Every structure is written in structure tokens, then in C-alpha cells.
Structure 1
Amino acid sequence: MISREEAVRTALSISAIQQDDGGVPWPEGHVDVWNHVECLMAMTVAGLRDPVTRGYDWLARHQRDDGSWAMKLVDGVATEPGGESNHAAYVAAGLWHHHLVTGDQRFTELRWPMVKRALDYVVGLQTERGEIVWERDAQGRASAYALLTGCSSIHQGLRCGVLLADHLGDPQPHWELAADRLAHVLAAHPEAFTDKSRYSMDWYYPVLGGAVRGPAAEELLEREWSTFVVPGLGIRCVSDQPWVTGAETCELALALDALGDRERAARLFADMQHLRHEDGSYWTGWQFINNRHFPHERSGYTAAAAVLAADALFTFSPGAGIFRDISAASVSPADPHLCGCTPARA
């Protein structure tokens, strides 16, 4: 385990890389909204109020009229202008988490219009069957395909958005319907998504995002456990490379915690501590054939995942259950009114 003081030190390593304009970048310098929000959540756990406020100010400044954000921004300038659906959805998870941790009603009300625009952008990309395609390009054209990991994260964002809406007395029933339809597709129609099965995220994210829980989730995780888990080190990023990554390991720990499997969650979290640097930051990954860090970087998003996993396991904040408590409603896979159960492809 790590102590609360060690978790705060990790969060401080994130604030140390925050840019003057409030963006929290990848090691190579660009900012994307999903990782930015993850870093804000970790700093919220640690009580770093000013960096978090500047981070939400950054989000508000860079949100576009349609509710989206550019995929990548460098020094505030869009270098990849398309708008990803999972980026926009995760802002709702961030704000709900902020509210759970701080109870700051005024802040929640201030940023609520940003979340409304973002989630309306997201549900505007939902197909008739229920999956949500991954982006709208710079010309406004919707992508032709959906990603399982992204849609799993979107599911969590929609559920958080519904909770925010109900808390603020501004219900958004179309988001709840969209989340139910999306959960159904995630649980019952894997053929609806582009095949990215070599990535560990496509394995555990339906559990992490709350679309699959209970016995089905336990069976799903057991199915590929030996493919991705490297005992004593963490989990592989991709199935065919000798490379474990800290963020994915922490996310799998969060998924296990959400199922009540705290023993394995804690073991995985302990296994990835070899990536912790003396300043509290975390190396992104470890290539265990060459015995070297790969890539040779310490990333804010890895540190953020570590803080959120530590919070879930050791309850450092009132937001410790943000992944545990978000789950799909009970929906019968045979219900034709939700998605028609039409296969995505033969």
C-alpha cells in the first residue's frame, strides 16, 4: 500500500507538470481532455484546490460550441481538431468526482453547463443500435466505427452525468436512456466494436466503466487473466509485447475493487509499485525482457491512475467509490426495444 502522504506526493508530481494555462500534458507536450481530467481527479483527491480549479478553467476555455474538445492541443492550439466522444464524456465523471470529494455546490453549478454541452455532443454520436462512435472530425462528419474501451468509459461518464443532473434538479432522461442502450451493446454485442483485443484495456474496461458487473464481469476478467497479467510486475499494455504499464495495472485494480475482489486488486497495486520514482511520480512502463523503463518517461496519467487506485483501496477521500458505485441498470439482453439485437456484422 501507499500512505495518504505518499498519494499527495504523487499528486504534487502531477501539479509540477501542469502548464501555465492549466493544461496537464502528456510527456511529449500535448494535452488531451481524457488524461487531463484523470489528472484533475487525482489532484482533487489530494486536496490541490488551485491546480484543479485552473484545470477546469482550461476545460471551459477550450470547449467548442458543439460541446467537444479537440483531440490534441499544444499550447492551447488544436493540432488534431477532431472531437472524441470519450474525451467529452469523461468531463462528467470528473465533475461528479469533484463534487463527491469537495461537496462544493457552487463549483458544481458553475461547471454544469459545460457538462451538459459535452454529454449532448456524446449522445449525438450514438447509433441506432446503441454504440457511440469514437469521433466527429473537423468537418463535422461522424466516424463510421466505435471503440469498446472508449464506449466503456463513455458509459461511466453518462452515469455520472445522470447523477449530476438529478443532484442539481435538472434531469436529463435522454442521457440515462443512452447509457442503458450503450450498456446493453457493451454487454451483449462485442461485434459492434472495432477489434482492439490485443490491448488490455479492451479486456477490462467494460467492468471498469460499469457496463458489465456480477458473474459476467468475473468471467470476463478470468478469460484473459493469464494473457495480460504478469505476476509481480503488473499487466501488459498489449498481449504480444513484454511490456507492463502502470496505468493499465491500476485500472484493472480499480475494476477488481468494483467487483469486491479487493485482495487481487491490492496485490496488483502492490506489484506495480516498482514503477514509483523517489519523487512520487511513476514511470509509464517496464519492458521486462530488456529490463528497462519503456517508454523512458514518467507520465502524469500514470501517476493519476495510481492515486485513484490508492483512494479506492484505502479510502483517502469521499470519492473513493467513483468506479465502484457506477454500474448499469439491469437490462435483459433479449429486450428488442433497446437496440434491436441486430448484429453489427456477420
Structure 2
Amino acid sequence: MNKDRKRVLIIGNGFDLCLGRKTSYKDFCQSEFCPKDYPSPLIKHLNDKWNDNLDAVKWYDLENELYNYYIRIKNNNGQIIDLYNDKEKEILNLIQTNGPISKYNSFIQANAETVNKLLNKDILCMPQFDYYLRLSHGDILNSPIKRDKKALQLIKDGLIQYLIKVQQEVINENSIAAIVARAFMQNKSNDQIVIYSFNYTSFSEIASNSSFAMEFNDTINYVHGCILDSNIILGTKDEKIAHNYDFIQKSFDSQYNPPAMVYDLMDADDITIFGHSLGINDSQYFKAFFERQSSSTNPQKKNITIFTKDAKSEIEIKRSLQEMTNWNLTSLYGLNNLQIIKTDECANNPTQLRKYIKMYIDNEEDIDSIIHI
């Protein structure tokens, strides 16, 4: 086992999923905490996109879909496809100003088709055509941009409440994620340990199983915030986005203050990445590192271990690495000790997992105790 090294652990949503936590967007979307009924074009876009195909949706796709929504607007010459047309807004404005419209019989007759559409959308309700909306009465008459901005905040608020509930559930102590975390935290040398979590859930429950829990609590950095602080960062990566939609970018969140992960990656000897897609929305955290590690100019050999679920996700990881190394993945392998471990295969073929744990623990009995808690 190497002594006095700097080790960095980076965890993504796949880590929580491996622990048995239901933190996929599918689970959140199907929960009572998801604001599917809020009247914003963004919410409608998400509902329409995933209405019939939730089984194919992964957590990080939500951020991708925020960007896809903006591209849809951009391709429509900046025009937002609102839920309501001008005639519907006129009727809604009349109701908001004057109350129920049941007494305006001539108006109703003249606009019967529009009124029926509003009834079908559950915006108006029978029998008196009262103004009806499950959220704020005034929001529906706000501009679609204002409604989209509020919708994003409602999504964040809903995620926080949903994940607070999920985090209260018992984790799988025998999962590969729990095993890797226990092994990584066996700091019996003078190694420097740094942990970065892209999850909103707290890592403290995992760390609490280690005798070094107090020490590690100070090394955990939440890249996008933590539900314990009632604050999470949700959005797209930096792009050329029209000013009125700046709010969908992570960097425009008032709480955005990412830790110095790029520096720690550059400075580390051993890097473990567990359950992170390395996808485009987080590429700004990884690209500079992988570019350098695949360059023959001043090479600095590192141990890089990536845990992913299965063969399909391994291909996705390699595609991301190809882009971040400027299509030089072979050099990344050649200049580093790089391995990709598929968690679905660890039970039947534990050789790679044991080899990984042996990087930090020499004694075979200790390795067995880590694997079989």
C-alpha cells in the first residue's frame, strides 16, 4: 500500500443508487413532491418529454433537458411556446379582475371554444366557471419566462423535500458503494483524503460507519449543495444563453460557489470516481484534468479508478472520456493506471474490487471485513 499520498473520491448519483436510494429523476417525477401541475412552459416540456418514457430517464438528464428546452426556444427564434394564447389570457385576465364569469353569458357564448379549452385544461372549473388553479392565482398571468423561473425553483424545492425523505431510509451496507467508501476511508497512513459529492444527499451516514468519521466530515465538499443546508444547485453548464434565461445555468445561482476540485484532481495521486456520468453538464469540472492526463507533455502518472454500473454505462463513460481527452483515450490509458470497474459484475468476479481495496489495505482479513461488514 502506498503511503503519504493524496487521494480524491468523487461520487455521483450512481453512488446513491448503488446504496439503494431512489434518487433517480423517475422516482422524483412520480412522487408527490414534483411540481408537474405548475403552469409553466418548462414544466409542460418536461411532462411531455418524459410522460411515456420514464424508464429511460436518468437523474442527470434533467439538467440536460433544461438545456434542450432552451435550445427549443432558441430554434423558435426566441419565442416561448406558452401554455395559453392571447384569447385565453384575455379571458383569464377578465376572471382575475372581475371574479367568476358565469354572469357574462354573452361573453361565454362568443368565446365558447376558448372557455371549453380552459375547462379541459382544468384552469377553469364547473359549474360557475370559477377561476381555478392549484397554485397562485396570479402566476398564470405572469410572463412565461417568470413562470419558468419559478418552475425551476419549485423543482429545486421539491427535490430537497423528496431527498430528505429518501435519505431517512436505510442504505444497503453490503452494496459496492458502501464497500468502496469504507475502503477509501481506511486512512491508517498519513494520506491526505478529499471527497467531492455531486449528490444533494449527505455523505455523513456513510462516513459515520468509519472510526475516522469526524476527520472525514471536514474533507467532504458538496459541489452542488446539500439538502442539509436547504440549498441545491440545479442547472446547465455555462453556455451562450440569452440573458432572460441566465437562470437555467448553475453559475447564475446566487449560492453557486464550487470548491477547488480541478486543483485537487491535478494534485492527487489516486482518484476514484464512483457513479458519476462525466457528462457534458459537468465537463467543466473534469475536462482540464483529463486533457492533461492524456498529454505526453510533462506526464504525471496517476491511479484513476472509475466505478460504473454495467457495460452500457461503461461505453457512455468512455465516450465522455474521448471528448474530454480530445479523442485521445488510448493515451489516457497509456499514461496512467486507469481502470473501469462495473459494479454489476463485482459479485460474480470480485478480483478487480479486491485489487482496488488492496491499494489502501494490505491485510487480507481486513479486506474481508470491509467487504463483509
Shorter-chain TM-score above 0.5: no
Larger radius of gyration: 2
User: TM-score w.r.t. structure 2 length?
Assistant: 0.31
Higher relative contact order (CA 8 A, sep 6+): 2
User: TM-score w.r.t. structure 1 length?
Assistant: 0.32
